[in-house]
Amino acid sequence: MKYYARRIAFYAVTLWAALTLNFFIPRLMPGDPADIMLAKLARVGRDIPPAVEQSIRLLLGSDTGEPLGTQYVTYLGRIFSGDLGVSVTQYPVSVATLISESLPWTIGLVGISTLLAFLVGIAGGIWIGAKRGTWVDGLIPASTLLQSVPYFWLALLLVYFFSVQNSWFPRIHAYGLEFTSGPEWSWAFVGSVLYYGTLPALTIVLSSFGGWLLGMRNMMVSTLSDDYVTTAEAKGLRNSRVLLTYAARNAILPSIAGFGISLGFVVAGSIVMEQVFSYPGIGKLLIQAVQNNDYALMQGIFLIITVTVLAANFIMDLVYGFIDPRTRHNG
């Protein structure tokens, strides 16, 4: 029990530290957001009536005159009541609304693709591990190559072949334009979402399953040479049983830990893909926020990312403490 208490305390402190950094970092950045926004509007050729200028100034109130300490306390209080402020880029929509609209897209798409990449990688790793030393080993460098190709490049290649050259898959967005008033609960809509998600998901799967494949294959190779596996083989157990219940079950442990960590990065890890496909997720919002010095939005997104990473790690910690008793003792 002491183990769990210690972990919980550790995560509480980490969360606080993250929240605090989250508060200070944007405030230490240079530049007056109001000037930047006005200059941007001018750059795209928009006429700026004095009324708009005035409202931008009021809204961004570059210097509120409040001491930093007071602002910090207000900030913490508001976060715990779920109020993340108002976005400047999408003024006057609240940050919480923007995040809650994008989060399902990111979690759905990136979450499922991460899981798919993991499953494909693990299954492939078991298979290649079992047939080590044959031609299938050649698949490893091929998958590593896919992983080392820059992410956006892979995305653009997919777009070029499957969407521009042959219009098999749509180029942008998360669902079809025929749903003119947004998401709805219908089979047609679900189908549209799957169809539109195919290329983005393929990008993620192709570029990340290689790591799982390599890791799993190597663990398989070393586990397969363990004495207990040899014993199992000597007992004359079925090959598949030796492979799956004896070798793979032990070999998968490090991959599961790794999977926990990569789940934590689901929310943050999709920026490039979302940009290429105009996918309405969190990564896109983050880019917009950074480009426009939208402090409130940035903070809100960092907060969500921090919390998901911490939560994923926390859960993995608990699960690990449960599966592997050794981790519960001081080593």
Partner 1 sequence: MLRYTRRHRILAAVGFASGLAIIATGCSSPSGDEAGTEKTLTVFAGAQTPVVANFNPFSPSPLAGTTGLVYQPLFHFNRMSSEDAKPLLGTAYEFSEDGRELTIDIRDDAKWNDGEPVTVDDVVFTFTYEVARPETLTDAVAVDEDTVKLTFSDPQFVNVVGLLGTALVLPKHIWEGNEDPTAGVNEDPVGTGPYVVDEISGGAYTFTANEEYWAPPALETVRYLAIDGNQAAEDLIAAGEIDYTSIFSANYQSLVDGGMGYMVLPSDPTVLYTCANADLGCTGPQTDPAVREAIYLAIDRETITEKAFVGLTTPMSPTLALLGRDDEWIGEGQPHEDPQTADPEAAGEVLEAAGYSKNGDGIYEKDGVPVELTMNSVDGWTDYNNAGKLIEEQAAAAGIKITAGTFSWQEFSDGRQTGQFELMLGFMKTTSLADPWQIYNDFLTTEFTAPVGEQLDPSHFNFTRYSNPVVDEAVARASATDDEAVKAEAYDAIQTEIVRDLPYIPVNMNAAQTFFNDTDFEGWPTEDNLYAYQQTGSALDMAYILQNLKPAGK
Instruction: Show contacts with partner 1 in window 209-238 (CB under 8 A).
Output: none
* Residue 160 CA neighbour count, 13 Å, CB half: 6
User: Interacting stretch for partner 1, rule CB under 8 A, among 14-22, 119-127, 255-263, 275-283?
Assistant: 275-283
Q: Which of 3, 195, 265, 320 binds partner 1 (CB under 8 A)?
A: 195
**Run of H or E including 187:** helix 187-224
164 lines the binding site for partner 1 (CB under 8 A) = yes
Q: What's the closest the beta carbon of residue 160 comes to partner 1, in angstroms?
A: 8
User: Interacting stretch for partner 1, rule CB under 8 A, among 1-9, 67-75, 155-163, 222-230?
Assistant: 155-163
* DSSP tag of 5: H
36 lines the binding site for partner 1 (CB under 8 A) = yes
Q: Which of 7, 14, 35, 119 binds partner 1 (CB under 8 A)?
A: 35
- Tokens describing residue 26: 């944007």
- Cα–Cα distance measured from residue 154 to residue 279, given in angstroms and rounded to the nearest whole number: 16
Q: Which of residues 52-111 bind partner 1 (CB under 8 A)?
A: 52-56, 58-59, 88-93, 98, 101-102
- Tokens describing residue 289: 């926020």
296 lines the binding site for partner 1 (CB under 8 A) = no
Q: What's the closest the beta carbon of residue 95 comes to partner 1, in angstroms?
A: 12
CB 270 within 8 A of CB 106: yes
- Tokens describing residue 66: 């409040």
157 lines the binding site for partner 1 (CB under 8 A) = no
132 lines the binding site for partner 1 (CB under 8 A) = no
Q: What's the closest the beta carbon of residue 291 comes to partner 1, in angstroms?
A: 8
Q: Quick one: residue 293, left, alpha or beta (phi over 0 = left, psi -120 to 50 = alpha)?
A: left
- Tokens describing residue 148: 């080392």
CB 151 within 8 A of CB 177: no
Q: Which of 1, 28, 39, 234 binds partner 1 (CB under 8 A)?
A: 39
* Beta-carbon contacts of residue 306 (< 8 Å; ≥ 6 apart): 15, 18, 19, 22
Q: Which is nearer to partner 1, 1 or 58 (CB)?
A: 58
